[in-house]
Every structure is written in structure tokens, then in C-alpha cells.
């Protein structure tokens, strides 16, 4: 068995400073990103700044706080399918596209050749047969529940450091985020079509440590150790790192993409000029379609700039289905896996040049952009308001920025007015990268993100995790079984906030958790 701990911080290349180059000035200064919004007049800009300013009044709920996804918010009854509702402001034509995208999101792909030619092309190596397999009910994934269980909604990303000056330059120029394992590619595929061996199996074990909080309450944290058994195609590169990633919830993605670059960059402070200890940095990537530099917003390390980039990547790497954006029908197969490359693919000439010809990708993208954020519950309850106060006082809002207003005059990919335009939203994220400490490090560089860096995840909908997913699993690898555990794993820039939470009285800590559960 190959055991590759998630924390590979002592790899020689990384220890020597492998491309850990920080953006030491605002990205807007270096890369000519906008420093102010161009979609608003001076008067409108002032109104937006006023409405998004952090509150200091915790005696009552803020105006529109319940509708955390703006006019797109779902006010449907809370059930296990609450994350699967469409944006509330879709017109009939958009509603039809949403439901078509939903059908394709749930579609089970099969191996080629098949009598169902519009559905074949799976793999040949893959992690899931459909998008819905990982994002069950459009919610959060989880690690394997027991030894030997299928990973399904968790994957192991594989990457090695740059090995040549040319590769180093490619990362510096944002043409590469990192480099795949020469045999197993960018991700371990633990499933395969008939007649082909899967790449390997995920192994997972935990050690435990006990944390004592103010007042004597104790919490047990579990520290994961990941490995890979039954490697089918030879050894892995000795410098390959692995990073476990559970599937994130799907709600509000279109709204996140609609936040102006300038408003995200306004919160960046890589040199800590404010003296807060918070050094949020933007993830700079290239848009996969245009090749232009863009602000990374999606993925655990903000490695994708758009929802479409994220969807195309998942089709290719997770399912092994080619699309117009990623036309390789063999997905993540490598030259050292000739059996995989010799398998039939699902390209049907009469249907197009890819296994999922357009409009599959645009429709799944539209569906992903328009999964509604549910309305908040118990917003005005005294204990929730008190917990919100504790959230702010503990410093959580320094990274989990409460609210934004999306771009005005926004157009969709169809050229029509976008449902996401000019909405007051409450994602509770700054969408920047932060050093989260050695405890959460995976040792894997992803573009400008070091092994210790993670994008601040949005918190909207987090209180419905148990309802939607049937269990709770938080952080990038699902190690935290409760919100309290998730907070206690925070380190690095977030250690001060973590310690403030741990030092609260039991009632104050519970109030803060109640606030999170209301989101």
C-alpha cells in the first residue's frame, strides 16, 4: 500500500520554497484588475457601500437578511431537497433550461459502446457516473464512512511540484496551477469501466486529540491520514502530493460569479497593512475558455474562475466525459495507462465531436448557476442575534465577509439579462485565500495557493447540512463532524478567532453555533 499523508509539507521541493510566491501587492495593481466598480454611478456606489457595511447593531435582524440570496432566494418549505430549488426569479424559458440542466446533472453515463449512444462515454477511468452521485441532492459530500467503503463524494487530487525551470515559469505565468502525477494524472480514479482496472483505492484512518474549552467542556477532533492501496499501474511519483476534497454544496454559485472583482479585491490585504493578522490573497488563474487572467472563485483553493470552468473540469476529471471546453474523451488517462487509452470512447460523429456535445455543458452550467440559496430561519431569535454578535466579536467576519451586491446590468451567456444581476446577497465569505495553519495543510500547491492556503468557503445554507446530506462533514476533507469541530480546526490567520471561540462561555459558544445553523 502506498501511504501518502495529506500533509506533505516536508517534501524537499516544497521545503526549499517551491514556487511559494505571494502576491505582495494588490492584484489590481499587478494585473490591471479593476479597483472600483464600473457598473454603478457614484451615488449608487455609495448606496452599495452603505448597505454592505458591517453591522454594529445585534439587537435586531438587518433589513433583507432573511433573503440571503436576494430575489433568487428560495422560500420553499425546508425538506431534504431544499438545495435543489431553482432561483426564484427565473422566467419560463429560463425555468425550462433549469429543468433540462437538472436532468443532465442527474444523468447516469454508461461505458462505450452502448445502445444508448447519447449516454455513453463514461470514463474509462472515473470517480462517479453522474454529477448527482457526488453532489447528492446538490449538497455537501463526505469522506468514506468506513474502511473499504467507496469514496464517491470525496476525491484525491494529485499534484507534484515544478521539476524544471520551464515548469516553474509556467506556474509564475499562470499557465499551470501545478503538475499531475505522470502515471495517475490529476486525480485518483477509483472506478473503471468493465475490462479495465481502477487506479487504486482510497484508504483512510484517524487519530484523535481532545481539546478543552473554557468552562471545562471537551471536544474530540479526528485527524485523518490518507493513503492509496492497490495501485494498478505502477508506483506514483515520489514527489506527488495528495489532497482529499469533498464535494461542496452547489447553492448560490451564479451569485458568487456575479460579485464584482473590485469588491472581492477590496478585502485583500496580503501584506497585512491593516495589522489584523488577516492576509487574504486573491487566487489568480486563467479562464479556461479565453485564456485571460481572472479571479479564481470556485473550488477549495479557488482554482476555477467561472462556474462553467468548474463544471467542465468535473465532467472531464470526475466522470471522464468530454465537452466542448475539454474535448479529450479519455479524461484523466495518461500515456502510462495505455489500456485506458485503448478503450472505446463515446464520441458519436452524428451527434458531434465530443461525448457530451453542446448544449449539455451550457445547460448543466445554467443549472449549477441557478440553484437557489434557501431563506434563513430564526433570524430574529434573541439567541441567534446574540450568536451573530459573538461571530463578529470573535473575528469570524474578518474572513467570512457577510454581504455583497452583485453586478448591475449583468448579461447571461445567452446575452439576455442575468437573474443574478444587482442582488444584495449574504454568502459570508471573502472568496480569498488564507493560511489556515499546519493542521489543515495538504502540502499541495495550487497556483498561488500554498499547501496551507484555502479559499474561505461561503457559509450560506450550512445550517441545513444535516437535513440535505443526512450527516455533517465540514472542511475540505470532511474531517469535522460538527460546526464546533470545524471552528476548532482553524489555525494560521484564523487561530485568533478560533481561540476567541474556545474562550467563550458555553452559552456564548452555543449561541454562535445557533447563528451558523440559521444560515
Give the angle subtended at the CA of 301 by the CAs of 296 and 303, to the nearest 5°: 40
Answer whether 260's CB lies under 8 Å from 182's CB: no
Interatomic CA distance for residues 479 and 481, integer angstroms: 6
Interatomic CA distance for residues 470 and 83, integer angstroms: 13
CA-based nearest residue to 310, from 319, 298, 320:
298
The tens-digit pLDDT sequence of the chain (519 residues) is 444 444 433 333 333 333 333 333 344 445 678 889 999 999 999 999 999 999 999 999 999 999 999 999 999 999 999 999 999 999 999 999 999 999 999 999 999 998 887 889 999 999 999 999 999 999 999 999 876 677 889 999 999 999 999 999 999 999 999 999 999 999 999 999 999 999 999 999 999 999 999 999 999 999 999 999 999 999 999 999 999 999 999 999 999 999 999 999 999 999 999 999 999 999 999 999 999 999 999 999 999 999 999 999 999 999 999 999 999 999 999 999 999 999 999 999 888 999 999 999 999 999 999 999 999 999 999 999 999 999 999 999 999 999 999 999 988 767 778 999 999 999 999 999 999 999 999 999 999 999 999 999 999 999 999 999 999 999 999 999 999 999 999 999 999 999 999 999 999 999 999 999 999
Answer whether 513's CB lies under 8 Å from 504's CB: no
Q: Provide the greatest CA pair distance for the chain.
A: 69
Interatomic CA distance for residues 515 and 308, integer angstroms: 32
Alpha helices by DSSP H, listed for 241-327, are: 253-257, 261-265, 307-313
**How far does Cα 24 stand from its chain's mean position?**
24
Interatomic CA distance for residues 437 and 494, integer angstroms: 8
Stated as kind and residue range, the H or E segment containing 255 is helix 253-257
Amino acid at each position: 500500500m502506498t501511504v501518502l499523508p495529506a500533509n506533505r509539507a516536508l517534501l524537499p521541493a516544497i521545503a526549499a520554497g517551491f514556487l511559494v510566491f505571494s502576491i505582495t501587492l494588490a492584484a489590481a495593481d499587478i494585473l490591471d484588475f479593476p479597483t472600483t466598480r464600473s457598473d454603478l454611478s457614484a451615488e449608487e456606489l455609495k448606496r452599495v457601500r452603505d448597505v454592505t457595511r458591517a453591522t454594529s447593531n445585534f439587537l435586531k435582524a438587518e433589513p433583507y437578511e432573511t433573503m440571503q440570496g436576494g430575489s433568487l432566494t428560495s422560500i420553499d418549505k425546508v425538506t431534504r431537497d431544499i438545495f435543489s430549488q431553482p432561483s426564484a426569479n427565473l422566467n419560463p424559458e429560463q425555468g425550462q433550461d433549469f429543468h433540462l440542466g437538472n436532468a443532465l446533472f442527474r444523468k447516469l453515463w454508461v461505458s462505450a459502446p452502448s445502445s444508448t449512444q447519447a449516454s455513453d462515454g463514461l470514463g474509462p477511468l472515473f470517480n462517479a457516473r453522474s454529477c448527482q452521485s457526488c453532489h447528492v441532492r446538490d449538497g455537501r459530500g463526505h469522506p468514506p464512512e468506513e474502511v473499504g467503503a467507496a469514496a464517491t463524494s470525496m476525491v484525491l487530487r494529485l499534484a507534484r511540484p515544478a521539476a524544471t525551470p520551464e515548469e516553474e515559469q509556467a506556474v509564475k505565468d499562470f499557465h499551470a496551477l501545478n503538475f499531475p502525477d505522470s502515471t495517475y494524472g490529476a486525480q485518483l480514479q477509483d472506478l473503471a469501466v468493465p475490462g479495465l482496472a481502477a487506479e487504486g483505492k482510497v484508504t483512510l484512518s484517524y487519530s484523535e486529540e481532545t481539546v478543552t474549552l473554557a468552562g471545562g467542556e471537551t471536544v474530540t477532533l479526528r485527524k485523518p491520514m490518507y493513503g492509496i492501496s492497490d495501485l494498478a499501474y505502477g508506483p506514483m511519483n515520489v514527489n506527488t502530493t495528495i489532497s482529499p476534497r469533498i464535494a461542496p454544496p452547489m447553492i448560490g454559485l451564479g451569485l458568487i460569479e456575479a460579485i464584482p472583482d473590485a469588491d472581492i479585491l477590496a478585502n485583500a490585504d496580503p501584506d497585512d497593512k491593516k495589522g489584523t493578522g488577516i492576509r487574504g490573497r486573491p487566487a489568480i488563474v486563467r479562464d479556461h475558455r479565453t485564456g485571460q487572467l481572472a479571479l479564481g472563485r470556485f473550488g477549495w483553493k479557488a482554482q476555477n474562475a467561472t462556474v462553467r470552468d468548474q463544471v467542465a473540469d468535473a465532467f472531464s476529471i470526475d466522470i471522464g466525459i468530454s465537452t466542448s471546453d475539454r474535448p479529450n474523451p479519455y479524461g484523466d488517462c495518461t500515456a502510462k495507462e495505455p489500456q485506458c487509452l485503448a478503450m472505446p470512447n463515446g464520441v458519436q460523429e452524428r451527434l458531434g465531436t465530443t461525448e457530451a456535445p453542446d448544449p449539455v455543458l451550457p445547460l448543466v452550467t445554467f443549472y449549477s448557476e441557478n440553484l437557489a440559496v434557501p431563506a434563513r430561519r430564526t433570524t430574529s431569535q434573541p439567541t441567534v442575534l446574540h450568536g451573530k454578535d459573538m461571530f463578529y466579536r470573535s473575528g469570524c467576519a474578518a474572513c467570512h465577509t457577510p454581504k455583497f451586491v452583485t453586478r448591475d446590468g449583468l448579461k447571461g451567456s445567452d446575452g439576455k439579462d442575468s437573474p443574478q444581476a444587482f442582488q444584495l446577497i449574504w454568502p459570508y465569505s471573502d472568496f480569498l485565500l488564507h493560511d489556515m495553519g499546519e493542521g489543515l495543510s495538504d502540502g499541495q500547491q495550487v497556483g498561488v495557493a500554498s499547501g496551507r492556503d484555502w479559499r474561505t468557503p461561503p457559509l450560506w445554507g450550512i445550517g441545513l447540512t444535516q437535513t440535505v446530506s443526512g450527516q455533517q462533514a465540514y472542511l475540505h476533507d470532511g474531517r469535522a463532524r460538527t460546526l464546533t469541530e470545524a471552528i476548532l480546526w482553524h489555525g494560521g490567520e484564523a487561530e485568533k478567532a478560533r481561540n476567541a471561540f474556545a474562550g467563550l462561555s458555553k452559552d456564548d459558544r452555543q449561541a454562535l453555533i445557533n447563528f451558523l445553523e440559521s444560515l
